[in-house]
Amino acid sequence: MTARWGVPDPAAAEGPEAQKIRAFRYAYQALATRIKIFTSLRLEALDRMAIKREVDEIGHLRIVEAGERAP
């Protein structure tokens, strides 16, 4: 099973150093959050299709940066 959790490439960030650092922090936060959610799934209670749905939903989460207000 595979999943695509698209996160912008922080190495491609342009601009001042602070903006580049923010891009790396965002990528880290996005991946860390998604991994934590994935590892909290009770895989033994889910069939293959349910796992795939959960993994896909995790990939569509909107990650809120520190200091940003959630909608």
Question: Per residue in 6-46, pLDDT tens?
Answer: 888 999 999 999 999 999 999 999 999 999 988 888 888 88
Range of 29's domain?
15-59
Does residue 5 form part of some domain?
no
Checking if the pLDDT of 53 tops 80, the result is: yes
Does residue 25 form part of some domain?
yes
Does residue 2 form part of some domain?
no
How crowded is residue 23: how many other Cβ atoms within 10 Å of its Cβ? 19
Measured between alpha carbons, how far is 53 from 38 in angstroms, rounded to an integer?
12
pLDDT of residue 62: 81
- Domain count within the chain: 1
Does residue 21 form part of some domain?
yes
DSSP the chain: ---------GGG--SSHHHHHHHHHHHHHHHHHHHHHHHHS-GGGS-HHHHHHHHHHHHTPPPPPTTPPP-
Checking if the pLDDT of 71 tops 80, the result is: no
Does residue 55 form part of some domain?
yes
Does residue 49 form part of some domain?
yes
Checking if the pLDDT of 58 tops 80, the result is: yes
